[in-house]
């Protein structure tokens, strides 16, 4: 795979991840009413398929993020291999935590859909309260994932800043994005700053995704940084002889 292809794939995956994560945010923002379990329950049951579609969309988004992680790791590997791998590991853990939040997303339907064993032992109000609690746990899992994504963004931003084949400004934007996502380590702080702590994230990630997708990387400079000593042509066999 050529570096240009990897860059384009990384940009495509990151952009698709961004696109598919918009719908879940909108739908859960519209249906979940904080502090009102009865309305939330009624909303969920009236729009069950729409809400479930949000959960599935978030999982698709996570899958794209895993793809983006791999390709961006490959693109930034010449700058610093171990740091690029470290950033990818943060992202993988974030993806796992983020996908787990989708499990809690679907728990309200177990509680609210009138299984006789639940409706016979709990009052409706109790079940609705439990359902809302699980949605809040979902939110908490999401916050943890976002903070870990922040660490990924910091790594990626630093590597882009130190690279000679991508514009430094995108590295700076990604560093700011990472700091923004890290505010989710303290949810009260994140809530009071929202949406200003999410804007740099959106700006940095969209500009990185579009840059990779449209401009890719400067292939000659990428090869130079990948192999500072020899010519790119015989690098493969050279590496093999040394190792």
Partner 1 sequence: MSTTVMTQPLENPDSPHRAIEPVQRTAAKTVGFLYLFAMAISIFGESVRGRLILPHDAVQTASSIAASEALFRLSIAGDLIIYVCDIILFWGLYVILKRVNKDVALLAVFFRLVETAILGVTTLTAFIALRLLSGADYLRVVDTAQLQALARGFLSIYGIGLSVGFVFLGLGSAVFSYLWLKSCYIPRGLAWLGIFGSLLMAIMSLVTMVFPVVWDRVGMAYMMPMGLYEIGLGFWLLIKGITVPSTIGRRPEGTASSGS
The contact set with partner 1 (CB under 8 A) reads: 1, 6, 49, 52-53, 55-56, 59-60, 62-63, 66-67, 69-71, 74, 88, 92-93, 95-96, 99-100, 102-103, 106-107, 109-111, 115-118, 120-122, 236-237, 239-241
CB of 67 to partner 1, least distance (A): 7
Q: What angle do CA 130, 39, 49 make, to 5 degrees?
A: 85
CB of 49 to partner 1, least distance (A): 6
* Tokens 């249906």 belong to residue: 31
* Tokens 């994560």 belong to residue: 21
Rg, the chain, Cα only: 21
Does residue 123 sit in helix, strand or coil? Answer: coil
CB of 97 to partner 1, least distance (A): 8
- Looking at the Cβ atoms of 94 and 170, the one nearer to partner 1 is 94
Q: Quickly count: other Cβ atoms within 10 Å of residue 29's Cβ.
A: 10
- Looking at the Cβ atoms of 85 and 186, the one nearer to partner 1 is 85
Name 128's Cβ contacts closer than 8 Å, sequence gap at least 6: 37, 38, 40, 41, 111, 112
Q: Judge whether 164 and 221 are in contact, CB under 8 Å.
A: yes
- Looking at the Cβ atoms of 142 and 183, the one nearer to partner 1 is 142
- Looking at the Cβ atoms of 117 and 229, the one nearer to partner 1 is 117
CB of 156 to partner 1, least distance (A): 15
CB of 228 to partner 1, least distance (A): 18
- Looking at the Cβ atoms of 97 and 198, the one nearer to partner 1 is 97
Instruction: Measure the CA–CA gap between 205 and 98, rounded to whole angstroms.
Output: 17
């Amino acid at each position: 795979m050529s570096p240009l292809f990897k860059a384009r794939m990384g940009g495509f995956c990151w952009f698709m991840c961004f696109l598919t994560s918009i719908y879940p945010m909108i739908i859960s923002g519209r249906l979940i009413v904080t502090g009102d379990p009865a309305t939330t329950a009624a909303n969920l049951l009236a729009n069950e398929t729409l809400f479930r579609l949000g959960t599935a969309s978030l999982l698709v988004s996570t899958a794209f993020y895993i793809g983006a992680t791999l390709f961006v790791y490959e693109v930034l590997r010449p700058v610093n291999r171990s740091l690029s791998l470290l950033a990818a590991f943060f992202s993988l853990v974030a993806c796992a935590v983020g996908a787990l939040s989708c499990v809690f997303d679907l728990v309200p339907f177990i509680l609210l859909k009138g299984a006789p064993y639940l409706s016979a032992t709990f009052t409706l109000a109790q079940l609705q309260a439990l359902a809302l609690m699980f949605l809040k746990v979902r939110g908490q899992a999401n916050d943890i994932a976002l903070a870990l994504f922040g660490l990924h963004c910091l790594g990626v931003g630093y590597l882009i800043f130190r690279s000679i084949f991508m514009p430094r400004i995108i590295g700076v934007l990604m560093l700011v994005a990472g700091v923004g996502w890290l505010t989710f380590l303290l949810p009260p702080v994140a809530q009071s700053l929202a949406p200003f702590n999410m804007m740099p994230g959106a700006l940095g990630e969209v500009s990185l995704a579009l840059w990779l997708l449209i401009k890719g990387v400067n292939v000659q400079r990428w090869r130079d940084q990948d192999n500072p000593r020899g010519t790119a042509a015989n690098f493969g066999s050279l590496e093999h002889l040394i190792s």
